[in-house]
Each structure stands twice: as C-alpha cells, then as structure tokens.
C-alpha cells in the first residue's frame, strides 16, 4: 500500500487510465498476473499474483526496463511511501490476515452438501 498525494490524484488516475503497453508487457515478462491497484480515499492498495520462481530477479528485470523507469518518473511524485524507512520498499508490504483458497475438485461436492438445506 502507498498514499496517493491528494494534489496528484487526477494525474495518477489519468496515467493509470492508459498504462503504457510496454510497462504492462514488462510486468507480464516478470511473471506478474492479475495486477490490480485499488483506491480508497488517499490509499492505494496493490494486488498481484506472482507466477515465477525468482521474485528478486524479476524485480530487477522490471527496475532495469527503461520504459518502466520513465513511467516511475511520472508516477512516483504522485505517491508518498508508507514503508518502514530503510526497508528498501517504496510500497509498504501488507500482512495477509485471511485468504479464501480455491476449492479442490474433490472437496466441492462435500462442501456443497454440508451447506445445503433439505
């Protein structure tokens, strides 16, 4: 999560209404899927699924991309980091407190029976 600077709100929303295709492609190449940024008041919360096997290497791939670097020059001034100083993070990591997992196919019928009325 990160704070959206109120005076930069419209700029940030305008930029994300048309994210550069090259930036999106770099994220895909770095094994990011289903990337979503949510806005609540002045807080941005990012969610993505990582499908690779070397997260640090994929982060370096993103950071080395010239188009992504240009994108960050536009978006970073719109944000105020909430991360712990010295952590190396720009966006503050959030701790997961609950997750609804997908059902396995063999669990689904039993679960349906337990919740059904007769």
DSSP, res 80 = E
**Phi-psi category of 102—alpha, beta or left, where left has phi over 0 and alpha has psi -120 to 50?**
beta
Phi, psi angle pair for 61, to nearest 5°: -60, -45
**pLDDT band with cut points at 50, 70 and 90 for residue 35:** very high
**pLDDT tens digits, one per residue of 86-105:** 998 999 999 999 988 887 65
**At 4, is the secondary structure helix, strand, or coil?**
strand
Tell me the average pLDDT of the chain: 90
50, pLDDT greater than 70: yes
Tell me the domains of the chain and their CATH numbers.
2-115 (3.30.70)
- pTM of the predicted model as reported, rounded to 2 decimal places: 0.79
What is the rounded CA–CA span in Å between residue 105 and residue 112?
12
116, pLDDT greater than 70: no
């Amino acid at each position: 999560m990160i704070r959206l600077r109120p005076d930069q709100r419209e700029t940030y929303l305008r930029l994300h209404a048309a994210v550069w295709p090259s930036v999106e492609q770099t994220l895909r190449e770095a094994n990011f899927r289903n990337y979503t940024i949510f806005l609540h008041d002045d807080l941005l919360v990012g969610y993505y699924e990582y499908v690779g096997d070397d997260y640090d290497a994929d982060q370096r791939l993103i950071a080395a991309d010239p188009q992504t670097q240009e994108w960050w020059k536009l978006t970073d001034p719109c944000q105020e980091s909430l991360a712990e100083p010295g952590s190396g993070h720009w966006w503050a990591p959030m701790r997961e407190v609950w997750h609804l997992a997908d059902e396995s196919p063999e669990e689904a019928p039993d679960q349906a029976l337990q919740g059904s009325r007769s």
